[in-house]
């Protein structure tokens, strides 16, 4: 009953639990998802903002470094322009007698202003002479150089240092890739016509030294001139390329005074940061790949994990509190269901519920307690009634048994056999002591067999040896018990009714244990009866002559004590005798001192 109650309680709890959880859990998940989305968006935006600030600082640092280099380039250009050695070397016509000495002097003067590691310095005179520092040489002829666009522009502005992009460097070290150079026309003070041109050449390696280590997979850095030529870059836009659309965007940003702008570059949403370097006539640009940065945002997985763990903890807590709230209600509902279907349960313990639940439980427990007390009183009265019925049946059999025994002793006295009559009375006294004793309601098989032997002795006083008897029991049944005065009425019935019209016969009694049943059989070879008559002995109450009172009484006692399927069965056939089989539950000797209860 308890297991069924619990299962129904869990079913009710599951229904109530699921209804509450169906409202609470989606709310928790919705709040968690919203929080996660806001947190990820805010953190990503913070990450992007931090990266953009970092890129802006990088651009400022690179600009400072490039302006510092510009001062050195200016110093070199002015030194070459004011050198007597350079002026003499690049203005003289024909061979100089001290050419090597002049070159030595130029190198010496240049070293006074050049750092140990500096860019290539190339000087080309109108007279066709060439000087290149760092042991390098010119990658093109002097005539071709003098006819280049950069030289033409320098002729037009002889007093300025011009910075220009060249698709290929003019020195051997820079010829393989696009380069950037600072060029100035060499002139005497007051003169407009230059006698040569001094160039400081920055190769791709020199340019990338400014920012190469500062770029990453999401931040592409590049130098771009006003025409859209990519002077140098770290990223997907190659150096030497051209991007007029980006150049237009940069000019618009410069004109509007914007340092940053979101735009589509190479088909991706990109944050453009730019710093103008006016001395170099360049834009220093940072192309921050916003989409890729958002994908590479490593903190997202940690935010998701933390949000997941917090949500799981909250759901566990929610499930626990919902369970704590619904469990007392479920217990109370299950107890009520048990009351309706299976009878009154014990008191319901609903500790942990709210005040309302405790009040309901208290009222229910008071009701159950009152009803249980009433039912127990009724059951006690019913049990007492059953005991009285059993006692009445037993008292019914005793006069019948005493009557038959006294007739046998009376017959001995008629036969003038006082000694046998005395022995009969002694045996009858022992038999009555066992039958009428109230100490035990059940006796062992051995005691019952002894009572049967005493009864057989009394009957042989009357019938002599005409009726043979045999009483036996198995060792398996020796430890079993049965209600007293149970088999004697059946044996008595065989003596007085089985041999009507006959002078001799055999009556046998066998007791054995079969599994959980104790089987007792009384067999006679008397006149027998039809099976219908045998069945009627069990279904109808005995008549006034009392011929079937013993069998009916025994069967009624067994049914009252143990219920079905226990009881008496009769198998008989006219002329072949009768078998009376008694089936009892196995009762051990350890419980023989208590009255058997109805199962």
Q: What would the two tokens of residue 390 be?
A: 């059993």
pLDDT less than 50: residues of the chain: 1-12, 397, 544-545, 592-599
Alpha-helix residue ranges (DSSP H) falling in 83-165: 84-91, 99-111, 142-146, 149-156
Q: Are 207 and 197 in contact (CB under 8 A)?
A: no
Quick one: which of 120, 140, 144 has its CA closest to 132? 120
Ordered DSSP codes for 350-403 = -TTS-HHHHHHHHHHHHHHHHHHHHHHHHHHHHHHHHHHHHHHHHHHHHHHHHH
- In the sheet that holds 260-265, the strands lie side by side as 230-234, 219-225, 282-289, 268-277, 260-265
Instruction: Say how far apart CA 157 and CA 10 lie, in whole Å.
Output: 96
Per-residue pLDDT, 3? 45
Q: Which CATH architecture has domain 379-591?
A: 2-Layer Sandwich (3.30)
SS in 3 state form for 55-66?
HHHHHHHHHHHH
Here the tokens at position 177 are: 């890739």
* pTM above threshold 0.75: no
CB-based burial label for 265 (10 Å; 0-12, 13-18, 19+): buried
Cα gap 210→201, rounded to integer Å:
15
Helix (H, G, I), strand (E, B) or coil at 476: helix
d(CA 461, CA 483): 27
Domains of the chain, by residue range, sit at: 46-295, 379-591
Q: How many CB atoms lie within 10 A of CB 490?
A: 24
Q: Any idea how long the chain is?
A: 599
Helix (H/G/I), strand (E/B), else coil: 1? coil
Task: Give exposure, 218-253, as e/b (b: 16+ Cβ within 10 Å).
Answer: bbbbbbbbeebbbbbbbbebebbeebeebbebbeeb
Q: Can you name the CATH fold of 46-295? A: Beta-Lactamase (3.30.450)
- CA 447/CA 481 separation, integer angstroms: 9
Phi then psi dihedrals of residue 434, to 5 deg: -75, -35
Q: Which residue has the tokens 């190479």?
A: 266
For 240-269, the pLDDT digits (tens) are 888 888 888 888 888 888 878 888 787 777
> What is the pLDDT at residue 269?
78
Cα separation, 400 vs 441, in Å, equals 19
What is the per-residue pLDDT across 277-334, written as a single tens digit (0 to 9) for each? Answer: 888 888 888 887 767 766 666 566 777 788 888 888 888 888 787 777 777 777 777 7
pLDDT, position 11: 45
């Amino acid at each position: 009953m308890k297991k069924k109650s619990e299962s129904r309680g869990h079913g009710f709890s599951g229904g109530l639990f699921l209804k509450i959880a169906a409202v609470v859990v989606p709310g928790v998940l919705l709040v968690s998802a919203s929080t996660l989305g806001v947190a990820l968006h805010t953190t990503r935006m913070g990450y992007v903002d931090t990266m953009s600030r970092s890129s802006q600082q990088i651009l400022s640092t690179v600009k400072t470094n490039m302006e510092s280099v510009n001062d050195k380039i200016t110093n070199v250009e002015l030194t070459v322009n004011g050198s007597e050695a350079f002026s003499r070397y690049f203005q003289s016509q024909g061979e100089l007698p001290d050419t090597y000495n002049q070159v030595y002097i130029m190198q010496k003067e240049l070293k006074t202003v050049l750092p140990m590691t500096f860019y290539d310095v190339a000087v080309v005179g109108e007279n066709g002479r060439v000087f290149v520092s760092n042991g390098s040489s010119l990658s093109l002829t002097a005539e071709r150089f003098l006819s280049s666009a950069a030289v033409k522009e320098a002729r037009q502005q002889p007093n300025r240092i011009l910075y220009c992009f060249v698709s290929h460097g003019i020195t051997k070290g820079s010829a393989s890739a696009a380069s950037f150079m600072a060029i100035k026309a060499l002139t005497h003070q007051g003169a407009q016509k230059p006698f040569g041109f001094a160039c400081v050449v920055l190769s791709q390696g020199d340019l990338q030294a400014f920012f190469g280590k500062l770029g990453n997979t999401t931040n592409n850095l590049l130098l771009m001139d006003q025409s859209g030529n990519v002077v140098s870059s770290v990223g997907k836009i190659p150096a030497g390329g051209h991007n007029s659309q980006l150049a237009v965007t940069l000019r618009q940003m410069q004109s509007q005074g914007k340092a940053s702008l979101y735009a589509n570059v190479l088909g991706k949403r990109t944050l453009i940061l730019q710093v103008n370097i006016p001395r170099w006539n360049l834009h220093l640009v940072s192309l921050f790949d916003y989409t890729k940065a958002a994908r590479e945002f490593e903190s997202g997985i940690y935010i998701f994990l933390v949000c997941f763990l917090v949500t799981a903890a909250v759901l566990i807590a929610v499930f626990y509190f919902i369970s704590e709230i619904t469990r007392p209600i479920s217990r109370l509902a299950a107890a009520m269901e048990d009351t309706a279907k299976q009878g009154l349960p014990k008191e319901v313990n609903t500790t942990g519920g709210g005040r309302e639940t405790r009040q309901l439980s208290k009222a229910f427990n008071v009701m159950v307690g009152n009803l249980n007390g009433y039912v127990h009183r009724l059951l006690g009265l019913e049990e007492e009634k059953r005991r009285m019925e059993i006692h009445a049946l037993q008292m019914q059999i005793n006069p019948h048994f005493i009557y038959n025994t006294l007739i046998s002793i009376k017959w001995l006295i008629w036969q003038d056999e006082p000694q046998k009559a005395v022995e009969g009375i002694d045996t009858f006294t022992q038999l009555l002591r066992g039958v009428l004793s109230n100490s035990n309601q059940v006796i062992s098989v051995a005691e019952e067999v002894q009572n049967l032997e005493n009864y057989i002795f009394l009957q042989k006083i009357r019938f002599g040896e005409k009726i043979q008897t045999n009483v036996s029991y198995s060792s398996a049944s020796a430890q079993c018990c049965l209600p007293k005065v149970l088999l004697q009425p059946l044996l008595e019935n065989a003596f007085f009714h089985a041999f009507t019209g006959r002078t001799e016969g055999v009556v046998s009694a066998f007791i054995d244990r079969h599994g959980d049943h104790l089987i007792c059989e009384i067999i006679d070879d008397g006149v027998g009866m039809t099976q219908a008559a045998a069945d009627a002995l069990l279904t109808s109450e005995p008549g006034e002559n009392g011929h079937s009172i013993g069998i009916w009484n025994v069967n009624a006692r067994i049914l009252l004590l143990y219920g079905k399927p226990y009881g008496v069965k009769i198998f008989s056939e006219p002329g072949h005798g009768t078998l009376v089989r008694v089936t009892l539950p196995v009762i051990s000797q350890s419980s023989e001192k208590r009255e058997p209860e109805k199962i």
